[in-house]
Amino acid sequence: MGSLIRNRSRVAPWALPWGMPEEFNQLWQEFNGPLGWIEQSSASPAMDVRETPEAFIIEADVPGMKKEEVHIEVADNVVTLKGERWGQREENKKDYHLAERQVGSFRRSVAIPGGFEAGKVSAKFEHGVLTITLPKPEEKKPRKIEVRVE
């Protein structure tokens, strides 16, 4: 019985950081930005995420990668970027004076608050930069409401 309680107290701060009240937890999340990083690996590309009134725009640096080598998946308000970078290192290690370019496979997911129209997602590849546009759902777009004064 005693061990069960200890177990539970070990779990509690994980669900709610530092055992703070729910309201504070929400505040803390807002302070840290509305986007959730789900996972990433060391070869993950650097990313920018911008929000416009109509859409979220993700830009990722993927120099040297081909269009076919990057995979984008969308499901349940989450965008996942997958790929493998530069497997073509053919020479001996001793021939390299410098080897700074990242290699390996990566997988990175971004949760978009409020979601997006999965059927209208578009992507563009230019100069080693991948741009993904995620249009917001109609009901999340800003609306102008005219208030009539009588």
Partner 1 sequence: MAVVEERYVAPRVNVVERENEVVIEAELPGVSREQAEIEVREGTLYLKAHARAIGGGGTEGAYRVQERPGASYYRSFKLGDTIDPAKIEARLQDGVLTLTLAKSDKFKPRAIVVN
Restricting to residues 1-30, name those near partner 1 by CB under 8 A.
Answer: none
- The H or E element spanning position 22 is helix 22-31
Three-state SS for 51?
A: strand
Q: Does 129 bind partner 1 (CB under 8 A)?
A: yes
* Shortest CB 32 distance to partner 1, Å: 11
Q: Does 124 bind partner 1 (CB under 8 A)?
A: yes
Among 30, 76, 95, 139, binds partner 1 (CB under 8 A): 95
Q: Does 68 bind partner 1 (CB under 8 A)?
A: no
Q: Does 56 bind partner 1 (CB under 8 A)?
A: yes
Three-state SS for 39?
A: strand
CA 52, CA 56: separation in Å to the nearest integer?
A: 6
CA 138, CA 136: separation in Å to the nearest integer?
A: 6
